[in-house]
Amino acid sequence: MSFEKFVSCVNNGLKRDIKSRRLKMKVSVEEFSELAKKYFNSLNDNNYKFIVEDGDKNNVLFILRSFFSLYVEVNNSSIEVFKNFPKKFILLKEVNKSNHHFTPKTFPKGTIMYSVKPAYSSSNRMNGIPLWHNLETIKDTELVPSVQINYDYICPIY
């Protein structure tokens, strides 16, 4: 999805509930409407910052990260929603089998990673985003490999 789609849904409402069986989460149309009134009432064309209550935090992050696939930074109860999803990230810590058991290889601290769409919908955007160290496709396909890197291991590069 996109920031524009998010703004449209805030202004016009949702047509159906937001659900994830894998995450065991659901936000009804009514709940979304209440959260939109509470937190998203003054959206503009720039990055958007707001303070969220602890009881609403998981649902708000689920809506922003999982449903709309927006890049969101969280600092305690402060949330910043980025209008444009960053294309490049730098690793703040080494990513290896001990901290990301599903990674196919070790990526050293300082590695530049690129945002890619996962070939299979296997990433949990509540925890991290699909990235890869280059944009080369797999031989004889149009697929770019990816691995989910958790948010506390990355920093966007603008």
CATH number at residue 135: 2.30.30
pLDDT tens sequence across 77-121: 999 999 999 999 999 999 999 999 989 999 999 999 999 987 666
Residue 156 near residue 111, CB atoms below 8 Å: no
Could you tell me if 49 and 90 lie in one domain? no
Could you tell me if 125 and 157 lie in one domain? yes
Could you tell me if 69 and 109 lie in one domain? no
Could you tell me if 127 and 145 lie in one domain? yes
Give me 125's structure tokens: 């955007």
Could you tell me if 52 and 73 lie in one domain? yes
Please state the pTM of the whole predicted model.
0.89
Give the domain extent around 112.
Answer: 86-158
Residue after which a domain boundary falls, among 81, 104, 127: 81
Percent of the chain with pLDDT over 70: 97
Could you tell me if 77 and 7 lie in one domain? yes
Cα distance between residue 60 and residue 97, in whole Å:
30
Could you tell me if 155 and 99 lie in one domain? yes
Smallest Cα–Cα separation from 6: which of 51, 30, 52, 39?
39
